Structure 1
Amino acid sequence: MLSPDSTERSRDLDRLLTFVDAAVAIALTLLVLPLVDLAGEIDSGDSVWQVVRDHAGRFGAFALSFVVIARLWRAQHRIVRGAVEDRVDLFWFLIAWTLTIVFLPFPTALLSATGDQVATKIFYIGSLLVSSVLLALLAAAVRRQRPPGAPHRPSVLPAAVDAVVDGVALLLSVLVPALSYFPLLLLVLGGQATTLIRRRWPNVEH
């Protein structure tokens, strides 16, 4: 049973997680604003489908970033399920991770117009890389609160693998411009890589 101090810390953690969830929701909402502005520029005689085709880059950037943020939030949600105390390290890892999510609408807005520029790739994929690194650190912080064998003790491995994949995707995107942002599809293989590592080194997370 938790002590009174632990109960208070748990309430503080609930408030922190509520704040983080709200910030993520706002970031997701901001992604659609460029599309809302585009809708305001359409005249009554314009073909909506033609406008969509002409600005396919904006719609693609919105869809990509929406999926990316949702995926990162889901990973964060799984990690913090085992958190029981609002410790300093956990607080700052969560705040820093939230910063990467809130920042993401900026490079998303750049994608359709300046997506080929190295700076845009660094801002976009670099944000994902930093976010994954922070998730790995967050998982390590939560693991310190949970004894071995305890339920909801998170694994550092998935976020660490994603960080490596993000780093590789960034290098490929910058060094081979023709690949554009397709190297991010390597993230689909992240789960398989994690499974293979666990099979090859079953004690890696103990």
Structure 2
Amino acid sequence: MAAGRERDLERLLTFIDAVVAIAITLLVLPLAEAGSEIQSRTVSELLRDHVDDLLGFFLSFTVIARLWLTQHLIVSSLVRQNGAVIRLLFAWCLTIVFLPFPTTLVTATSNDGIAKLLYIGTMAVSSGLLALLGRVIDRDRTLRDRDEGPDTAITIAVTVTFLLALIISIVFPATSYWPLFLLMLTDPVVRRLQRWAGSRSDA
């Protein structure tokens, strides 16, 4: 936690964390409702019939957790707020709260273009807002308790990857939501590029 953080900012970040916790908990509600069907079928049948719900839950849980961790790193040096920080944090919070809705849509439909747009598009917007937040914090030294600003390279790369995954999934419907697994390559690729750029600058 940043030293000397303003009380109002601390309250804001605590509120944001609570909202994210509630949103991530809401993801499991469809699974909880599905569990009531056990009276009329076996566990294996229940799991087979709701495999899409399970995949949607784990994928969305992973994405929200990843976005929250990114947000946590970006605001780790933040000690005071301004209007832009407040607006961006609330806009980002809105995308997290909204995400359980398109998650329900994608588990109830098969390769629906609008469902994909809402689902992956919401993730892309959420990541893009974090990149903007990092940029705002980086440009205003008075907001931070350290000289270096947030590293937004990975956040920008994740946003681009979300958009690429959205394009692939819509242009090639048979790929479904598998293009989202491109996100697994984002961190190692960006880190390698950063090391390469660093070695070139040292040379």
SS of residue matched to 2:6: helix
With the length of structure 1 as denominator, give the TM-score of the two structures. Answer: 0.88
1:169 aligns with 2:175: no
Written as runs of structure 1 = structure 2, the 5 A alignment for 1:67-106 is 67-106=62-101
Task: Work out which of the residue numbers 96, 106, 118 in structure 2 matches 1:123.
Answer: 118
Task: Work out which of the residue numbers 170, 175, 199 in structure 1 matches 2:195.
Answer: 199
Task: Work out which of the residue numbers 25, 28, 37 in structure 1 matches 2:24.
Answer: 28
Tell me how large the CA RMSD over aligned residues is: 2.3
User: Any stretches of 5+ residues in structure 1 without a counterpart?
Assistant: 1-6
Q: Is the 8 A contact 1:85 1:145 kept in 2?
A: no
Task: Work out which of the residue numbers 175, 178, 182 in structure 2 matches 1:179.
Answer: 175
CA–CA distance in structure 2, aligned partners of residues 151 and 41 of structure 1:
56
Q: Which amino acid aligns with 2:129?
A: L
1:146 aligns with 2:138: no
Q: Which amino acid aligns with 2:128?
A: V
1:114 aligns with 2:109: yes
SS of residue matched to 1:41: helix
Q: Which amino acid aligns with 2:170?
A: V
Which residue of 2 is the match for residue 50 of structure 1? Answer: 45
Task: Work out which of the residue numbers 119, 132, 136 in structure 1 matches 2:127.
Answer: 132
CA–CA distance in structure 2, aligned partners of residues 106 and 200 of structure 1:
41
Task: Work out which of the residue numbers 7, 11, 14 in structure 2 matches 1:11.
Answer: 7
Q: How many residues align?
A: 196
1:41 aligns with 2:37: yes
CA–CA distance in structure 2, aligned partners of residues 48 and 42 of structure 1:
6
The range that moved more, 142-151 or 34-43, is: 142-151
TM-aligned CA deviation for residue 149 of structure 1:
10
TM-aligned CA deviation for residue 201 of structure 1:
3.8
With the length of structure 2 as denominator, give the TM-score of the two structures. Answer: 0.89
Q: Is the 8 A contact 2:4 2:79 kept in 1?
A: no
SS of residue matched to 2:38: coil
Task: List structure 1 runs of 4+ shifted beyond 6 angstroms.
Answer: none
Q: Which amino acid aligns with 1:48?
A: V
Q: Is the 8 A contact 1:82 1:146 kept in 2?
A: no
Q: Quick one: percent identity of the two aligned structures?
A: 45
